[in-house]
Amino acid sequence: MLHLEIYPNKQQLVVFEGTQILKEYPIATAKNGLGELAGSEKTPRGWHSIRAKIGADQPLYTVFKRRRPTGEIYTPELSQQYPDRDWILTRILWLSGLEQGKNRLGAVDTMRRYIYIHGCPDEIELGTTPSSHGCIRMHSSALVELFEWVEKGTRVWIADQE
């Protein structure tokens, strides 16, 4: 069975089929580190599942706000026009915590924190430095590939090492 493992200390997402590694991707987790509290802008730890897959038929670099396409396609020029935007591009894999009291329900609920695996601009360096606001960032072409492999309900482990 397919599952994902996210290693914040390596800034890496690994796709497993059982115990076999299928693919490794560079990512970026939260610049504020790891944690579960709402408003912390930290990446939550522990077991999650993919609650929803959003954007299946959208073009590469589609801009999303509140999980809806804005009608914009990301370009570096658009980025210069809106320099403070947290770009959510191409596809969204919305995560839901599976561990009550750790990442599910109350002030630690991953889903209610809107934590995603989502696309980001290609010019953002991945695989080295945490830089997100809590989500897991991937480059769009890698995310499209991952999006095709995973199903709703796919389990995701986010390790607790920084």
157 within 8 A of 50, measured Cβ to Cβ: no
Angle 48-54-58 from CA coordinates, rounded to 5°: 150
Return the domain boundaries, the chain: 2-158
For residue 147, give the H/E element and its range: helix 140-149
Average pLDDT, the chain: 97
Q: Considering the domain delimited by 2-158, tell me its CATH architecture.
A: Beta Barrel (2.40)
Model confidence pLDDT, tens digit, residues 128-161? 999 999 999 999 999 999 999 999 999 999 999 7
81 backbone φψ class: left, alpha, beta (φ>0; ψ -120 to 50): alpha
Tens digit of each residue's pLDDT (9 = 90 or more) over 42-86: 999 999 999 999 999 999 999 999 999 999 999 999 999 999 999
Residue 23 has a CB neighbour count (10 Å cut-off) of 14
